Amino acid sequence: MKSLRRNDLVMLGIGIVIFAVLQVLITERIMSSFWQLNVIIIGINVIMAVSLNLINGYTGQFSLGHAGFMAAGAYISVVLTTFFHVPFALALIAGAAGAGFLGFLVGIPTLRLRGDYLAIATIGMSEIIRICIMNIDYVGGAAGFKGIPHNTTFAWVFFIMLFALFFIKNFVNSDGGRACLAIRENEVAAESMGVNTTKYKVMAFTIGAAFAGVAGGLFAHSFYLISPNSFTFMQSFNYLIMVVLGGLGSITGSIAGAFVVTFISAALASWPEFRMIIYALALILLMFYRPQGLFGYMEITDYGPFRKILKKGGRDDG
């Protein structure tokens, strides 16, 4: 346990150094506002990817409805900040709670399903959420919710992202996380070993949905306007792509996946005609080259130089 704590501190230190560097680049206006915005988007995508990874990668439940939970969190938080002038932090927490609760409600019945059946059921759920929002005129309906205060800053995104990373990492290394891993490896075996599979599946699903809700809140408060169009199943595919590209079951992988996907999209912005074609080819090639994703099950801390800095504990001896 001790080495775990120490590792957390080291990683936190590294995180703060990265934050400081980026913050200086932003305040000194060395980074253009386009790339500033994209750094924020990367942060939000990391939260989305890592929380989806908890469900798909660590618990092995094939969920394709993450955008739906993001939408729920986004709309709850913007209603609170825009109509009721609730402080941003509180609105984010409410968005997370709302999305988490929704995840809980959806999770109990649907998590009985397996594999592709679960996938289509979760797509269905997220589409139902989106269509319901589309039909509520109070939040602008299909045309979108206008006049959202611009509260999301780089610092908010970065520290919430760090929190999400540490929370999910520690959850995975906790008893609950072990149970989730057991479910992923073999659900029947896990159940016969006394793991309450429903409880842990729903738990992972709820936590994942709650973080998607926070990410939704951050997303909404960086764009002045959100519309249900931003949360279609295509968007859920995008998050799945990030997770798989990085490596299912790797937190480092989710960070890398979110970074690569957002980066490719932003860097190709000047060639709109070819952007999606190149993106598609990159996707196919990456899957040929590394079907298990960039990191597979590995974390960056499993690689040589990092092993020396961090005394490895946790994962391997579990």
Partner 1 sequence: MKFGSKSLKLMAAAVGVALMGSVFAGCGGSGSGSSDEIKVGANFELTGNVANYGSASMDGLKLAVKECNDAGGINGKKINLVSADNKSEASEAVNAATKLISDDSVKVIVGPAVTANVIAESQVATDNKVPVIAPDATSPDVTVENGTVKPFIFRSCFIDPQQGTVMAKFASENLKAKTAVIYVDNSTDYSKSLGKVFKEKFEAAGGKVLDQQAFVAKDTDFKATLTTLKAANADVIFVPAYYEEVGKIVKQARELGITCPILGTDGWDDPKVADIAGADALNNTYFSTHFSDKDDSVKGFIDAFNKEYGHAPNVFAALGYDAGKMLIDAITRAGSDDPEKIRQALEETKDLKVGTGTITIDKDHNPIKPAVILENKGGDRVMVAKIMPE
Partner 2 sequence: MEVLQQVLQQLINGISLGSIYALIALGYTMIYGIIKLINFAHGDIYMVGAYIGFFAITQAHLSIVPSLLISFVVTGCLGMVIEKLAYKPLRHAPRISVLITAIGVSFFLEYTSMYFVSPTPRTFPAMFGDVAVSIGGIVINGQQMLILGITAVLMIVLTYIVQKTKTGKAMRAASFDVETAQLMGVDSDRIISYTFGIGSALAAVAGVLVGVYYNSIDPLMGIMPGMKAFVAAVLGGIGILPGAVVGGLILGIVEALVSGFISSTFRDAAAFAILILVLLVRPAGIFGKDVKEKV
- Kindly list the residues in this chain that would bind partner 2 in the complex (CB under 8 A): 56, 62, 109-110, 112-114, 116-117, 119-121, 123-125, 127-128, 131-132, 134-135, 188-189, 192, 233-234, 237, 240-241, 244-245, 248, 273-274, 276-277, 279-281, 283-284, 287-288, 291-293
269 near partner 1, judged by CB under 8 A: yes
Shortest CB 141 distance to partner 2, Å: 9
Token pair 């200086």 is found at 24
Give the number of residues in contact with partner 1, rule: CB under 8 A: 43
Interface residue with partner 1 among 82, 230, 236, 250 (CB under 8 A) is 230
Determine if 289 is a binding residue for partner 1 (CB under 8 A).
Answer: yes
CB 225 → partner 1: shortest distance, Å?
Answer: 4
Q: At its nearest, how many Å lie between partner 2 and the CB of residue 142?
A: 8
Residue numbers 30-89 binding partner 1 by CB under 8 A: 31-35, 37-38, 41
* Interface positions with partner 1 (CB under 8 A): 31-35, 37-38, 41, 134-135, 141-144, 146-147, 150, 219, 222-227, 229-230, 263-264, 266-270, 272-273, 275-276, 278, 282, 285-286, 288-289
